[in-house]
Amino acid sequence: MKKTKLAVIFGGKSSEYLISLHSAASAIKNIPNDKFDVTLIGITSEGKWLYFPGSIEEIDNNTWFENPNCCEMILSPDAVLKGFIKLNNDKTFDKVEIDCVFPILHGKHGEDGTIQGLCELYGIPFVGCDMLSSALCMDKEFTHIVCNSKNIKMAPYMAVVNEKNLDLKDTYKKVLENLSLPIFIKPANAGSSYGISKIRNYDEFEKGMNFAFDHDRKVILESTIEGFEIGCAVLGNGEILIGEVDEIEMYKDFFDYNEKYHSTTSKIHCPARISDELKLEAKETAKCIYKALECSGMARIDMFLTPTNEIILNEVNTIPGLTSVSRYPSMVKVGLNMGYTELIIELVNLAMNR
């Protein structure tokens, strides 16, 4: 059987660059060589695209771009070529045809529809949600707008743009009229809890707003949802598969960067310690959210379960963490009995049959 020519893109000009390296390293380890011809393309944190012929370790320890055999790689805008132009170090160039792109990029310039748009323009199938869906899920204001219009419950919210004449004192008044303390302040477009704070008074509000504005021109304010966080791994295009529901057990204010990647006080339970009825409801809700935001390929749907057993959407991650201990592959393994290698085969299959 002919092997599928798969381009894995990792890194990226995003605050989640390093996380992408770990996700990519795990995914690459699990790509079966008998089915795929893999081309590795790294994007440096400055945004330079490089062909990378080295080892997984160099990706994992962030030395990959120092490999002397790296060379420039350009995604060709030629929809007939469908692939990349490799600018070799000896000044020659090669055309590298690709059947499918697997962007393993988190956050801005990767998970937000930009790479997806390029692939759509150049006619190359790619793993994960399309351009529109990726952009909607990345921008927390637009996730709210679409979900509100489709009757999907989310926290009460406000969006604030960092304009020249923004008066924070005045904004705080409006915030208190519309939302209830404590309030979450989040950059509209970020991830891994970067720029997020939970505030209880004006001083914290001012600090939190400036902190969030360091990450994005637009921030989202949300009333705090009581309860705990659950997640669902969703997989598919028209026909949808749902993995096990997981749960984040936490003793801190929120699931911050440190907890996400070092789990000091938090713990992920997969399956979640909730009733079968609630699990079923969470899965059904996740499916509705996936459809409402026109997701395809994959997404991890993060929700809250309140003390009165209400399920409320927090956010949708269109390129969820993909390390071997990440939530998405674990939920797929536990719920669908699908290992990481099978998952990759399925994701590429979904991309090529969209």
**Binding footprint of ligand ADP on the chain (CB under 6 A):** 155, 184, 186, 190-193, 196, 222, 224-225, 229, 254-255, 302, 314-315
347's CB contacts (< 8 A; 6+ apart) are 102, 127, 128, 235, 297, 298
Q: Which residues pair with 171 in a beta bridge?
A: none
Rank residues 105 and 344 by Cβ distance to ligand ADP and give the closer one: 105
Closest distance to ligand ADP from the beta carbon of 191 (Å): 4
Distance CA 41, CA 75 (A): 10
55's CB contacts (< 8 A; 6+ apart) are none
Of 151, 131, 331, the residue nearest 241 (C-alpha): 331
Are 270 and 330 in contact by the 8 Å Cβ rule? The answer is yes
Closest distance to ligand ADP from the beta carbon of 223 (Å): 6
Rank residues 303 and 338 by Cβ distance to ligand ADP and give the closer one: 303
Q: How many helices (H) does the chain have, and how many strands (E)?
A: 11, 16
Rank residues 8 and 282 by Cβ distance to ligand ADP and give the closer one: 282
Are 254 and 182 in contact by the 8 Å Cβ rule? The answer is no
| CA angle, residues 339, 304, 347, in degrees to nearest 5 | 25
What is the 8-class DSSP label of residue 154? B
| CA angle, residues 22, 291, 110, in degrees to nearest 5 | 30
Rank residues 60 and 302 by Cβ distance to ligand ADP and give the closer one: 302
What is the 8-class DSSP label of residue 64? G
Of 66, 136, 65, 101, the residue nearest 318 (C-alpha): 136
Rank residues 192 and 326 by Cβ distance to ligand ADP and give the closer one: 192
Rank residues 49 and 254 by Cβ distance to ligand ADP and give the closer one: 254
Tell me the one-letter amino acid at 66. Answer: E
Closest distance to ligand ADP from the beta carbon of 21 (Å): 18
Distance CA 274, CA 19 (A): 30
Token digits of residue 230: 């659950």
Rank residues 99 and 222 by Cβ distance to ligand ADP and give the closer one: 222
Rank residues 45 and 223 by Cβ distance to ligand ADP and give the closer one: 223
Distance CA 238, CA 219 (A): 33
Closest distance to ligand ADP from the beta carbon of 183 (Å): 8
Are 43 and 105 in contact by the 8 Å Cβ rule? The answer is yes
Rank residues 133 and 224 by Cβ distance to ligand ADP and give the closer one: 224
Question: Residue 162, SS3?
Answer: coil
Helices 17-29 & 340-352, crossing angle to 10 degrees?
Answer: 100
Closest distance to ligand ADP from the beta carbon of 253 (Å): 8
